Amino acid sequence: MNWIVWALIILAVNLVVFTWIVAWIIYSALLRRRKPEKWARRQSMPDDEEYIRLYDQALSWREENLSRKRDVEITNDGLRLVGEYYDFGSDRAVIIIPGRMESCYYSCHYAEPYRKAGFNVLTIDGRAHGESEGKINSLGYLEYRDVLAWARMLHDRENIRQVVLHGICIGSSTAVFAAADEACPDYVTAIVADGLYQRFYDSCRNHMINDHRPLFPFLAETMFLIRVVSKADAVHDGPIFRIGRVTRPVLFLHSRADIFSTPDKAQELYDRCPSEKKKIVWFDGAGHSRIRITHPEAYDQAILDYLSQLAN
């Protein structure tokens, strides 16, 4: 019988080791940059026709406004961070914060309503993305400090008096973290949150379900690795835990068809936000992070209307 017991023990140990190896592979694919080619400025979904159209529109906007562009950079947390600044001669600016796999070129897709509203536009490569330094994505838990550093740069170096943060998915979470922090300066006057989730745990779980991947034990193990390596508590922290400290104006943009940041969770975030100047705009039939490519006129108008209300 002893050999059976030992065989079962060895089998169990090997199974546990196997699941942790798989979890590390999942974590590395999600949040670890091993080569510069990963999360570069090129499009991240070359087989997705809708995304290709989105990215082509972003590059077209960039090309049309190259005469207004300057390369900019800052250093924060010992990392060199880079971006592109489109100067339209205003003393107001937006920082566009992209999602997990995207860089500054992608962000140009969201720039046009701000140009129309009379804002300068800063698109950034987050740490470990594009041409910025870093190897780990921290889901906004560290990156929000970079965003605040970018805002200081705009204020101190470019004489910008009003900064709006526009985030997409994880970029929205990053914007919330920045606005909720006591160090957030008064000249950061509003945030626009596209596809905001409550916790990355929820979003990751919904992705795994949609991809027909087993949750147990890989989801819990991946969350543990995120906590240890990325220094991000994606289970016990997130926008739902910080939105109560956001008193600045917030525009929530959300799709009723979003299966990753679900509408019920978005409504709860909106309800918990104490801002006296908050608004939620719903869109039909758009996938997660795909609202503007699906409803460009309505998306831009929602931003223009909100910015106009803030100016009054």
Q: What is the pLDDT of residues 62-108, one digit of tens each?
A: 999 999 999 999 999 999 999 999 999 999 999 999 999 999 999 99
Closest CA to 190 of 144, 251, 138: 251
Contact 283, 273 (CB under 8 A): no
120-124 and 79-86 as β-strands: parallel, antiparallel, unpaired? antiparallel
Q: How many CA atoms lie within 13 A of 308 on its CB side?
A: 9
Which pLDDT does position 3 carry in this prediction? 77
Beta strands in 67-124, from DSSP E residues, in sequence order: 69-76, 79-86, 92-97, 120-124
Which pLDDT does position 9 carry in this prediction? 78
User: What predicted TM-score, i.e. pTM, was given to this entire model?
Assistant: 0.97
Report how far Cα 300 is from the mean position of its chain's Cα atoms.
19
Which pLDDT does position 165 carry in this prediction? 98
Mean residue pLDDT of the chain comes to: 96
Beta strands in the chain, from DSSP E residues, in sequence order: 69-76, 79-86, 92-97, 120-124, 162-168, 188-194, 250-255, 278-283
Q: What is the pLDDT of residues 273-305, one digit of tens each?
A: 999 999 999 999 999 999 999 999 999 999 999
Which pLDDT does position 38 carry in this prediction? 96
Give the CA distances from residue 202 to residues 183, 228, 268, 297, in Å, rounded to whole numbers and listed in that order: 28, 19, 14, 30
Q: How many CA atoms lie within 13 A of 162 on its CB side?
A: 16
- Report, as an integer, the average pLDDT of 159-187: 98
d(CA 216, CA 208): 11
Helix (H, G, I), strand (E, B) or coil at 280: strand
Report how far Cα 32 is from the mean position of its chain's Cα atoms.
16
Amino acid sitting at position 87: D
What's the CATH architecture for 48-198+238-311?
A: 3-Layer(aba) Sandwich (3.40)
pLDDT band at 312 (very low <50, low <70, confident <90, very high): low
DSSP string, 132-189: S--SB--TTTTHHHHHHHHHHHHHHHS--SEEEEEEETHHHHHHHHHHHSTT--TTEE
d(CA 112, CA 302): 12
Q: Check pLDDT > 80 for residue 6.
A: no
Distance from the first to the final alpha carbon of the chain: 81
Contact 119, 88 (CB under 8 A): yes
Q: What is the pLDDT of residues 240-272, one digit of tens each?
A: 999 999 999 999 999 999 999 999 999 999 999
